């Protein structure tokens, strides 16, 4: 009887420790970040040829996954940007690092010749 009680107490203690560990891990998870790029392009051919390849590589190398890259836009209120890009990062810190990297800032200097940018990040909902 004493052995059964010891086993039951051990199992319950293990479950409590496991639940606490899972709760702690979820509390430590950082929310994802989404970077939105609104782009008004003056010279689309040069922009696509000279800016897009190095900029996309810098962003992907920085850990991003493209969610939207161009594509059809439908406006419900107001004027939509000429082009839109949405990228997802693991965290706001990773997004900041990617867009402050030398690879991206060098690409952005090229892009500035052909377009006006509005790029910003927002934290998403924590998992």
Domain boundaries defined on the chain: 1-30, 33-123
What fold does the segment set 33-123 form as a domain?
Alpha-Beta Plaits (3.30.70)
Q: Give residue 29's pLDDT band: very low, low, confident or very high (50, 70, 90).
A: confident
Q: Give residue 27's pLDDT band: very low, low, confident or very high (50, 70, 90).
A: low
Is 4's pLDDT higher than 80? no
Predicted pLDDT at 26? 54
Is 74's pLDDT higher than 60? yes
Q: How high does pLDDT run on average in the chain? A: 88
Which residue is it, tokens 């392009």? 41
Q: Is 84 exposed, middle or buried (0-12, 13-18, 19+ CB in 10 A)?
A: middle
Which residue is it, tokens 């051919």? 45
Is 3's pLDDT higher than 90? no
Q: Using alpha carbons, list the distances in angstroms from residue 41 to 12, 37, 82, 113, 114.
A: 62, 12, 7, 10, 6
pTM for the full model?
Answer: 0.75
Predicted pLDDT at 126? 86
């Amino acid at each position: 009887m004493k052995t059964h009680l010891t086993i039951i107490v051990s199992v319950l203690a293990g479950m409590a420790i496991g639940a606490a560990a899972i709760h702690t891990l979820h509390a430590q998870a950082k929310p994802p970040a989404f970077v939105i790029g609104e782009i008004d392009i003056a010279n689309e051919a040069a922009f696509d040829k000279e800016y897009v390849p190095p900029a996309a590589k810098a962003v992907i190398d920085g850990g991003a996954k493209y969610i939207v890259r161009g594509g059809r836009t439908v406006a419900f209120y107001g004027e939509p940007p000429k082009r839109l890009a949405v990228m997802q990062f693991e965290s706001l810190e990773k997004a900041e690092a990617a867009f402050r990297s030398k690879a991206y800032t060098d690409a952005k200097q090229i892009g500035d010749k052909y377009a006006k940018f509005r790029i910003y990040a927002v934290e998403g909902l924590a998992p």
